[in-house]
Each structure stands twice: as C-alpha cells, then as structure tokens.
Amino acid sequence: MYLDIVDLRDFYATGLGQTTRRLLVHRLRRLWPDLSGLTVVGLGYAGPMLGVFREESECTLAFMPAEQGVVNWPADGPSSSTLVDETQLPLGDGTVDRLVLVHCLEMSEQPRDLLREAWRVLAPGGRLAVLVPNRRGLWARFEHTPFGQGRPYSRSQIVRLLRDTLFTPNSWGEVLWVPPFRGRFMIRSAAAWERAGTVIRAMPPGVLLVEATKQLYAAVPAKERSRARVRFVPALAGKPVPTQSMETARRRTGLARSE
C-alpha cells in the first residue's frame, strides 16, 4: 500500500529527509554521470531525486501513482508531474531512455505488472534504476521514514523479480549506512557514515540500488522430445452407420457356400 503523498513531502522537508535526498542523488549521479539528450522518467516519489537531471536531459517527467497522490513538480516553472496508473503508463512503447523507481516497487501491490509496464515503455538499450529498502537494513525497521513502509527486498529477491520480468541486473549500489535517527549529530555525520559503510561491512545499508537493462530476447527452455501419440478420429455423431447382411459380407470375403 502506497504512503500518502503528504507524508512523503513532509519527510523530505525535514533535516533527515534532505540528507536522504542528497545521498540518493549522489549515488544516482555516480550511476548516470551524463544524460544529455535523453528522456528520463521517475515513477513513485522521484521528484526530489530528478532535479539534478533536468538541466541536461531532453525531457524529465515525474509520474506518481494514483494510490499515492500527486504534488506539483518542480516547484518553479511548468509542472512536469502527473497522476498515473502504475500498470498503464501514458507513454508509447520504447519511448523512455532512463526510468527511476523510488518509493514505488516496495509499496506496489502488483510489482510484476509494474515492471512489465516499465519494460514496455523503455527503449531498446534503456536503463532502469530501482531503489528499494534493504530487508536487512535499519531503515526498513523504522516507520518514521518512507523506507520503513511497504515490503523491503533482499538482493536475491530483487534479482529474481527483475529476471522474471525480462530485465537483466548489471550494476549494484548501496546507500544510507547512516542510522535513520533525527538527531543533529547523526545528520551532520551522515557523510562519514557513508564512507565508513563502504569499507566496514559490520552494518548493512538501508537502501539497495540496482540498475537493470531491458532484455529483448528471452531464453526459451528446451522441450523434451514428445512420444508418439495415438490419434483418435471421432465418429460422426447422430448419423447411423451403414450395415450389410451377413450373406453379402460372406460373398465379399469369398466365404459364401454354393447352394
């Protein structure tokens, strides 16, 4: 079930939310350093993360699921956000170069249908970036953050889901090693936590970031050679079968006796 848009907006207006946005944007920028001339779409509540791409991309759109609600984005200039059905996006086939799912997959009641629709709108060679709460991380256990809502994923679970929907995972990232506490000291030390998390693996990260590519040709499992089957020919129903006398049958078989 989707978190209400007001709760999402209020979280990203807090100090912890601003820090979260900054860390997620930094990780996305490392993944996609240049999107010049490309069409970028965010699905879920991706607005806070999309602003960095607006100046260079050809088109940047923020799609927000109907169950979540919608807010105007960006705050300045013409709106680029709209309310959508997550399984029926108002886009043509193969029209998106980069698709970002944030606060989306873990809250959807139809994750496979959502990813199938993502596959449809992505262009050949398009990339999908999915940010989901880590099942083993602290952020999935605190409900005062959006990553504490919905269904968290482990790495193996998200890989299986992507492969089942014709995506090939090809890059991994991890973010939010800082504990989800709202104290000033914790927020100010977030960068140090992130640096330490990449070296010391004592504590799992709060969010998993996986990049996947659209798989155009799926492997079809080989079928076993089928055995020969008996072919049954149905009789005509409702029509009497012609009969012949015993004597006629005997003559045709050469078994008739001379009188």
Class of domain 5-214 (CATH, top level): alpha beta
167 in helix, strand or coil? strand
Is the distance from CB of 201 to CB of 42 less than 8 angstroms? no
* Cα(209)–Cα(88) distance, integer angstroms: 24
Q: pLDDT (tens digit, 9 = 90+) per residue, 174-203?
A: 999 999 998 888 889 998 999 888 888 778
Q: pLDDT (tens digit, 9 = 90+) per residue, 197-241?
A: 888 877 899 999 999 999 886 554 444 444 444 443 444 444 444
Amino acid residing at 22? R
Q: pLDDT (tens digit, 9 = 90+) per residue, 42-101?
A: 999 999 999 999 989 999 999 999 999 999 999 888 899 999 999 999 999 999 999 999
Burial class (CB in 10 A: 0-12, 13-18, 19+), 44: buried
**Any residues with CB less than 8 A from the CB of 24 and at least 6 apart, and which?**
48, 49, 102, 131, 175, 176, 207
Single out the residue of 14, 210, 59, 236 nearest to residue 127, CA to CA. Answer: 210
* Cα(4)–Cα(67) distance, integer angstroms: 8
Q: Where are the domains of the chain?
A: 5-214
Is the distance from CB of 165 to CB of 116 less than 8 angstroms? yes
